[in-house]
Amino acid sequence: MSGSRYFIGVDVGTGSARAGVFDEDGQCRGTGKRDIEIYRDHAHMVEQSSANIWASVCHAVQTALAQAKVSPDQVAGLGFDATCSLVVLAEGGLSLPVGPSEDPDRDIIVWMDHRAVEQAERINALGHGVLRYVGGRISPEMETPKLLWLKENRPQIFKAAWQFFDLADFLTWRATGSLARSTCTLACKWTYLAHESRWDPSYFHQIGLQELADENFARIGQEIVEPGTAVGHGLTAAAAKELGLRPGTPVSAGMIDAHAGGIGTVGIGGTPECNMGYVFGTSSCTLTSTSSPKFVPGVWGPYFSAMVPGLWLNEGGQSAAGAAIDQLISFHPAFHEASERAKSQGLSLPVLLANLAVEAVSSASHVVSLARGLHVLPEFLGNRAPFADPAARAAIAGLGMERDLENLVALYVGGLCGIGYGLRQIIEAQAEAGADVQQIIISGGAGQHDLTRQILADASGKPVVAPQTSEPVLLGAALLGATAAKSFSDLRQAMQALSKAGRVYTPASGNIRTIHDKRFEAFRLLQAELRKIRDF
């Protein structure tokens, strides 16, 4: 073992920081996890602490190393991914309060925070050309609307800020001291034009953030590199001590968490352009790679070299996916009974409901029959794609007076079908623009169950492929570290070498396919009618 080399991937999601230690065959040898704090004092405000996140990262890495029985000298490279949240720091790396709590530790506006809806609407009304590369409309989940909100509502904080970081870029700075940013974070969330290797100053002047342009973008990124690029001089002595690693260990430029899941999966089969990465977690993200730019209304991108270097990326998704299912089933009268039953069996409630659904029918594809007449539009937090409509909301049609567990299972199945139909809409919108895919490669905590995967295949009409690894997001982050360590010539080679396929879920045909086609039409009808009536 002493001659073996290992790579560490660190994934900072919405609720936890996780780390995984991988060997040179892509096998996960050990993992660690620690929850991170989240603050929701106001309806549309969600905040976190960078100090708390860094402490959780360090604990997760140390735990993973101990579990893997790997020494610091055996770790050849380290990669980070994180949610696309905004970190605001003063000179010297001191935290600044981003909200009315005035707590300086709360220095992060979380990706899902919607305080900047008004700012996003004003930016979209101006119609600057850079918006072509975010699907035509910028989202309040992206960073420039949030920066504009800070300037307008907390001008003293905006002025005092030394650096505005995407969370993944904060982590690489905290680890290495380097201010280098990733093309992944900046192209996808900050309007950096990676295909031209430049910011567009006129955009910042037009929307009211002219200071950032006049400073030559010193606070948001002057050195921008592709994922897989080693940054700085590796781990600083201080960071290495906190992480339990060796100073100088190579660290890659980071990625958004969903995109790391793409890196860990879309290399399956050796042709990323054929695969749609589908990261099914609290929210969902679709990741489609193309050799030339494809402009898809309502779908973010095309972004150049934001995920697979040298390829263009279109990014869709659902603002609430796993969270939508949790919200949906919490409404039902049988929720508490089912929760206690799940707890007694050591299961999450969605897993219990999935198990019960499968037990009730002859095959996974036939569970759709349980939801007959029950239709769910699960857009609790708006429609991210293909309509880019943050004001969209959920609807449930076909409810009766039932209060039993059987009806809760039916509602759960209807919700999963709704997630699948939203995925089908994104696939069809992209295909119309010339960005068709052959199969879906699934990852994310909410997409682990066989039933979930089969329903997604049936509802979308595309095969769903499970990666061989149980930790595709951590693998993607580790592949960044492996590339930074020069274990592979480039990130694409690393993906093709270590991303392997597991089980394939083939979409149903015949009567089941006909049922899903009809339910998809009902799904679109609900969307259209809700748009007509939501303002009164």
Residue 98, both tokens: 């981003």
Give the pLDDT confidence score for residue 499 in this predicted structure: 87
317 pLDDT above the threshold of 60: yes
Q: Mean pLDDT score of the chain, rounded to an integer?
A: 96
Question: How many other CB atoms sit within 10 Å of the CB of residue 504?
Answer: 12
Same domain membership, residue 251 and residue 168 = yes
pLDDT in tens, 212-261: 999 999 999 999 999 999 999 999 999 999 999 999 999 999 999 989 99
Residue 244, both tokens: 């339990």
> Is there a domain that residue 501 lies in?
no
Same domain membership, residue 322 and residue 238 = no
Peptide bond preceding 386 in cis form (omega within 30 of 0): yes
pLDDT in tens, 433-482: 999 999 999 988 899 999 999 999 999 999 999 999 989 999 999 999 99
Average pLDDT over residues 389-404: 95
Same domain membership, residue 298 and residue 152 = no
CATH number of the domain to which 135 belongs:
3.30.420.40
1 pLDDT above the threshold of 60: no
Same domain membership, residue 202 and residue 288 = no
Same domain membership, residue 300 and residue 206 = no
Same domain membership, residue 340 and residue 218 = no
Give the pLDDT confidence score for residue 388 in this predicted structure: 86
Average pLDDT over residues 128-151: 94
User: Which residues sit opposite 18 in a β-bridge?
Assistant: 11, 33
**Residue 391, phi then psi, degrees to nearest 5:** -85, -10
Give the pLDDT confidence score for residue 3 in this predicted structure: 66
Last residue of a domain, one of 225, 255, 285: 255
Order of strands across the sheet that contains 255-256: 28-35, 16-22, 6-12, 75-82, 255-256
> Is there a domain that residue 496 lies in?
no
Last residue of a domain, one of 221, 255, 289: 255
> Is there a domain that residue 477 lies in?
no
Average pLDDT over residues 20-25: 96
**Residue 146, phi then psi, degrees to nearest 5:** -65, -40
DSSP symbols for 248-268: T--BB--EEHHHHHHHTTTTG
> Is there a domain that residue 475 lies in?
no
Same domain membership, residue 130 and residue 88 = yes
Give the pLDDT confidence score for residue 409 in this predicted structure: 98
Give the pLDDT confidence score for residue 444 in this predicted structure: 84
Peptide bond preceding 302 in cis form (omega within 30 of 0): yes
pLDDT in tens, 29-40: 999 999 999 999
Give the pLDDT confidence score for residue 339 in this predicted structure: 98
Average pLDDT over residues 170-188: 98
> Is there a domain that residue 260 lies in?
no
Average pLDDT over residues 69-88: 97
**Cβ atoms 360, 367 nearer than 8 A:** yes
- On whether the pTM is more than 0.85, the answer is yes
pLDDT in tens, 366-393: 999 999 999 999 999 999 999 989 899 9
Q: By three-state DSSP, how is residue 228 classified?
A: coil
Same domain membership, residue 222 and residue 75 = yes
Same domain membership, residue 314 and residue 204 = no
Give the pLDDT confidence score for residue 135 in this predicted structure: 82
2 pLDDT above the threshold of 60: no
Same domain membership, residue 226 and residue 119 = yes
**Rounded to whole angstroms, what are the CA distances from 387 to 66, 69, 139, 249, 426?**
46, 48, 11, 43, 9
> Is there a domain that residue 482 lies in?
no
Same domain membership, residue 453 and residue 430 = yes
Residue 276, both tokens: 């749609």
Give the pLDDT confidence score for residue 511 in this predicted structure: 97
- Domain count across the chain: 2
pLDDT in tens, 519-528: 999 999 999 9
> Is there a domain that residue 499 lies in?
no
Its domain, for residue 351, covers: 270-468+506-536
Same domain membership, residue 387 and residue 316 = yes
Give the pLDDT confidence score for residue 466 in this predicted structure: 95
Helix (H) or strand (E) run with residue 82 in it: strand 75-82
Last residue of a domain, one of 227, 255, 283: 255
Average pLDDT over residues 403-427: 98
> Is there a domain that residue 490 lies in?
no
